[in-house]
Amino acid sequence: MATANPTAIACGNRIHLSLLPSPPPRHSSSTSPFSSPLPLSRSSALSLNSRSPKDHSFTNFEKRSRKPKGMRVECAAKEPLKVMISGAPASGKGTQCKMIVEKYGLVHISTGDILRAEVSLGTEIGKKAKEFMDNGMLVPDEIVTDMVVQRLSQQDVREGGWLLDGYPRSSSQAQSLERMNIRPDIYIVLDVPDDILIDRCVGRRLDPVTGKIYHLTNFPPESEDISTRLITRSDDTPDKAKSRLETYKKNAEAILPTYLDLLNKVDGNHPREVVFKEIDSLLQKVSENAPSTENLPTIKGNSYIYMKTADSKNDSWRGIPTRLNNIPHSREIRKYFYDDVLLATKNAVADKRNRLKVEINIPELNPEMDVYRIGTLMELVRDLALSFADDGRRVKVCVQGSMGEGALAGIPLQLAGSRKILEFMDWGEYGAKGTFINIGAIGAKEVDEQDDIFILVAPQNAVGNCIIDDLKAMTDAVGSRPVILINPRLKDMPASSGIMQTMGRDKRLEYAASFENCYSFRLLYYAGSFYPIMGALRMSYPKGYEIYKRIDEPNGKEKYVIIAEFPEKPTVDEINDAFEGRTRNKEKATSGIWSFLSGIL
Ligand code: AP5
């Protein structure tokens, strides 16, 4: 099947964009775009203040971090290890952290420990935090995030590496770290069944002198002396433990996308030494692969590489994933793009932008390519909707219904069956669908008062039928609430005779243009041979457009490096110039076929 995907062709030394057939799949994988949502997990936090309390468990903890006992893994000339450990309440994070610190000498930062220290000191922070902790709720971000960030910036942490326990605990906390470019080398999630967790909470006892964690039956204290001084945490009652578990479950999945490429799930329902053995072997691998400088390529996960660009303006962005020629895309690659879209969209919504457009043209999401997969589009929509729902918003996911009349009635081929697919998809185990997420069509009557945000799946005109009137009526009814169009195709098309369109052509075009891009991505290909990929054009709100060049490396790998940035979408000529290392006079217009192509771009 031919494709209208803009690709670049070499013309002499010059590279031009051109319409070429789509690249055929090179490798296939059996990953299904309908795979169920990610396993439940989530990160825990770590924390600390910049000040150093002298006489409570926080102090003990710090001391332990600085004086590792037993064998210690040295990572000479390498970046210090950065580890995040997460898991439900009583999954064994604290227990494992103690063992990790002893072997690896990392600085353990536990938000729970720090907060408890604040509470026992009776500080202002402690007074504010206590109420939340006692109710099994998260302490507000502004308190916790500050503590963590301050602690992470201290010299011992920078030199010795860190072990973050209990932070981030929500999507917004994870995003705070991402914005500051703070990422771990590995993200470990301890997985333990619910009933075991409650028993572990209720039976837990702490030694205020050594900071050691005991359990009445699993790890009873070694002596009567110790036994008499043990204390019970105020949030370790059965009711509070259940409520903490609920809070954990509500937030766990929202954090996952941020650390998906670093995720390692460990079965925590084994003796603590067995659990540690698995963690230890993961950490050994990570320390062996630890880069010696910040800008070296970093291997994340098994299948692809993220290349940090030299450009610090890219903040926490992980770079373009490689092996994009492999189709179907691996689950990791798909997830990478879902996360990328999600971040940009959330940033735009947070900035109160309310008419948004996502244009993502990886091969699997381009309906004009023969490798197009409706499942990938649905999965992207599900991830977006679930993530907004996790933030407590009511999301309406809308797919246009049948258009036209009589023999002319129908829906665009690409969308056929998609409403049914959405209805039958796995929307997670917390009953989000039907409460926080509802599925509807496009039109004014679909707008309900309780809807907070609207995601419209590939709204498009078909020959003879125009979606824009319905879309306009819907957005009028929506008012200032955000509407996000995913891969819209609103180019004007002629109406079929006898079917009246209420808006004139100019008005329709103007209306279609009123949605601003919050995310855009497309690959640029060389002409003549479809491979290799020449580069990519990416835009992610609030940044402008970036052009990346794909570079082959001698070891058979590849990387993407940024070669130009534009505040507005670049023209075809500007892209060509960027690849040739030239700057262009903005006034100079494109002409002929290239001006036609820039309309498509
Ligand atoms: P926090 O202290 O972090 O509590 P938590 O996440 O609920 O985790 P726990 O400390 O209860 O358990 P753990 O996984 O460390 O298990 P442990 O090793 O002790 O946070 C407390 C509160 O602070 C939160 O509820 C929140 O209010 C607030 N907070 C913290 N961070 C925050 C943030 N980022 N944002 C907002 N608020 C925040 O083990 C538990 C028991 O099991 C022990 O008795 C142990 O002996 C036993 N055990 C451990 N491993 C095993 C094993 N393998 N087999 C059998 N028993 C085991």
β-partners of residue 455 are: 397, 484
pLDDT for 363: 83
Nearest to 181 by CA among 75, 311, 64: 311
Q: Quote the ligand 1 centre to 156 CA distance (angstroms).
A: 24
**Residues 287-301, buried b or exposed e (16+ Cβ, 10 A)?**
beebeeeeeebbebb
Which atom of ligand 1 lies closest to the CA of 140? 36
Q: Quote the ligand 1 centre to 118 CA distance (angstroms).
A: 17
CB 465 within 8 A of CB 413: no
- Distance (Å) of CA 148 to CA 151, 182, 526, 595: 5, 11, 46, 51
Q: How far apart are CA 379 and CA 94, in angstroms?
A: 35
Instruction: Kindly tell me the sign of the dihedral angle through the C-alpha atoms of 121, 123, 125, 131.
Output: positive
CB 512 within 8 A of CB 468: yes
Residue 53 tokens read as 């309390």
Q: How confident is the model at residue 66 (pLDDT cuts 50, 70, 90)?
A: very low
Q: DSSP labels for 316-340?
A: T-----S-TTSSSPPHHHHHHHHHH
Residue 22 tokens read as 């789509």
pLDDT for 464: 65
CB 44 within 8 A of CB 97: no
Which atom of ligand 1 lies closest to the CA of 89? 7
Q: Which of 82, 130, 212, 244 is catalytic?
A: 244
Q: How far apart are CA 139 and CA 251, in angstroms?
A: 13
Q: Quote the ligand 1 centre to 467 CA distance (angstroms).
A: 52
Residue 387 tokens read as 């993530």
**Residues 197-208, buried b or exposed e (16+ Cβ, 10 A)?**
bbbbbbbbbbbe
DSSP class of residue 311 equals: -
Residues 577-591 have pLDDT tens digits of: 888 766 554 444 333
Q: Which of 93, 346, 396, 559 is catalytic?
A: 93
260 has a pLDDT exceeding 90: no
Return the residue whose CA atom lies nearest to atom 8 of ligand 1.
Answer: 89
pLDDT for 263: 86
Q: Quote the ligand 1 centre to 406 CA distance (angstroms).
A: 63
Q: Please state whether 401 falls in left (phi above 0), alpha (psi between -120 and 50) or beta.
A: beta
Which atom of ligand 1 lies closest to the CA of 136? 25
pTM exceeds cut of 0.75: no
Q: Quote the ligand 1 centre to 95 CA distance (angstroms).
A: 9
Tell me whether residue 393 is one of the annotated catalytic residues. no
**How do beta strands 213-215 and 204-206 pair?**
antiparallel
Return the residue whose CA atom lies nearest to atom 2 of ligand 1.
Answer: 112
Return the residue whose CA atom lies nearest to atom 7 of ligand 1.
Answer: 89
Measured at the CA of 210, the angle between CA 208 and CA 211, to 5 degrees, comes to 60
What contacts 409, CB < 8 A, 6 or more positions away? 402, 403
β-partners of residue 201 are: none
Phi (first) and psi of residue 428, to 5 degrees: 90, 170
CB 224 within 8 A of CB 196: no
Tell me whether residue 14 is one of the annotated catalytic residues. no
Q: DSSP labels for 61-93?
A: HHHHHHS--S-----TTSPPPEEEEEESTTSSH
Any idea which of 217-221, 238-242, 305-309, 506-510 has the lowest mean pLDDT?
Answer: 305-309
Q: Quote the ligand 1 centre to 70 CA distance (angstroms).
A: 25
Q: How confident is the model at residue 94 (pLDDT cuts 50, 70, 90)?
A: very high
Q: Quote the ligand 1 centre to 2 CA distance (angstroms).
A: 56
Q: Quote the ligand 1 centre to 94 CA distance (angstroms).
A: 6
Supply the mean pLDDT for the chain: 76
Residues 271-313 have pLDDT tens digits of: 999 999 999 999 998 887 655 433 332 222 222 222 223 233 3
pLDDT for 68: 38
Residue 532, SS3 per DSSP = coil
410 has a pLDDT exceeding 90: no
Nearest to 112 by CA among 234, 10, 253: 234
Q: Which of 169, 205, 240, 472 is catalytic?
A: 169
Residues 302-318 have pLDDT tens digits of: 222 222 232 333 345 66
Q: How far apart are CA 120 and CA 237, in angstroms?
A: 18
- Distance (Å) of CA 410 to CA 355, 373, 416, 459, 549: 27, 20, 9, 14, 41
353 has a pLDDT exceeding 80: yes
CB 204 within 8 A of CB 148: no
pLDDT for 83: 96
Return the residue whose CA atom lies nearest to atom 12 of ligand 1.
Answer: 90
Tell me whether residue 491 is one of the annotated catalytic residues. no
User: CB 54: neighbour CB atoms within 10 A?
Assistant: 8
- Best probe residue, ligand 1, of 56, 111, 248 (max atoms within 8 Å of C-beta): 111
Which atom of ligand 1 lies closest to the CA of 205? 44
Residues 535-580 have pLDDT tens digits of: 999 999 998 999 988 888 777 778 888 888 888 999 888 888 888 7
Q: Which of 82, 204, 240, 396 is catalytic?
A: 204
pLDDT for 397: 94
User: CB 89: neighbour CB atoms within 10 A?
Assistant: 25
Residues 120-143 have pLDDT tens digits of: 889 988 999 999 998 889 999 889
Return the residue whose CA atom lies nearest to atom 17 of ligand 1.
Answer: 92
Return the residue whose CA atom lies nearest to atom 20 of ligand 1.
Answer: 112
CB 588 within 8 A of CB 573: yes
Residues at CB less than 6 angstroms from ligand 1: 44-45, 87, 89-95, 111-112, 115, 132-133, 136-139, 144, 166-167, 169, 173, 200, 203-204, 213-215, 218-219, 235, 244, 268, 271-272, 275
DSSP class of residue 166 equals: S
Tell me whether residue 116 is one of the annotated catalytic residues. no
25 has a pLDDT exceeding 60: no
